[in-house]
A and B are shown apart, each in its own frame.
Chain A
Amino acid sequence: EAGVAQSPRYKIIEKRQSVAFWCNPISGHATLYWYQQILGQGPKLLIQFQNNGVVDDSQLPKDRFSAERLKGVDSTLKIQPAKLEDSAVYLCASSLQGFSYNEQFFGPGTRLTVL
């Protein structure tokens, strides 16, 4: 079974530039999550989709971050404009359903460096 795919794996940009990350979840998984993980901290949930609808985006900085999940399958997360503090690993995960007790399967992440 193919796992969660993410691209790119690494990205270096300058502040005020824009960047986009892509995620393809495991086939059949209705729920998709984007996390931000700053070095030394645990993953922080940015947004949770159930199919193509948003379940929780309370921690998404909406003035600069946006995410979409068209057709309820793959998803993109965008940052525009980027700030230095956005340097982190961005993890995508998926699960069959959207409860926190459901096993989440994580992708390898995208490491973003903002200079």
Chain B
Amino acid sequence: LAKTTQPISMDSYEGQEVNITCSHNNIATNDYITWYQQFPSQGPRFIIQGYKTKVTNEVASLFIPADRKSSTLSLPRVSLSDTAVYYCLVGPDDKIIFGKGTRLHILP
């Protein structure tokens, strides 16, 4: 069972780049790394997914080192609206576990 560890909370300022790291030491060969974002009073929303190296979309980038034991979600030039909880998931797996996530607070 792949387990993830993330910082509980982070603060940053508008316009900064924010990097959230997730540790997953027991990741399996066929596991993908997926990040979700959750705003207050809403369900989680898929942000990005990757298997190795780097993935980029219109919202974020995901960096995965060669050993895949960690991953970093990078949010470029954040704004106040990026204040949310970010979850790192690893799978496929027989269990879908969100964990407590990282509470990101963007300051003006």
Contact = CB atoms under 8 A, between A and B. Distances in A.
B89 interface: yes
Contacts of B34: 100-101, 103
- Tell me whether chain A's interface is mostly helix, strand or loop, or mixed: loop
Interface string A37-50: 00011111100100
Contacts of A99: 91-92
A2 to B, nearest CB: 15
A77 B31 CA distance: 30
A56 interface: yes
B85 to A, nearest CB: 8
A44 to B, nearest CB: 7
A101 B92 contact: yes
Interface residues of B, number: 26
Interface stretch (B17-25, B43-51, B53-61): B43-51
A4 B42 CA distance: 12
A44 B36 CA distance: 14
A114 to B, nearest CB: 19
Interface stretch (A60-68, A79-87, A105-113): A105-113
A86 B90 CA distance: 27
Given A35-B98, A100-B92, A108-B41, 18 more contacts: A33-B96, A42-B85, A42-B99, A43-B44, A45-B95, A45-B97, A56-B94, A56-B95, A99-B91, A100-B32, A100-B89, A100-B96, A101-B92, A103-B34, A107-B43, A109-B41, A109-B42, A109-B43
Sort A-B residue pairs by CB-CB distance and give the 6 closest, nearest first: A106-B43, A100-B91, A42-B98, A101-B32, A99-B92, A103-B46
17 contacts: A33-B96, A35-B98, A40-B100, A42-B97, A43-B98, A45-B95, A45-B96, A91-B43, A99-B91, A99-B92, A100-B32, A101-B31, A103-B34, A105-B46, A106-B44, A109-B41, A109-B42
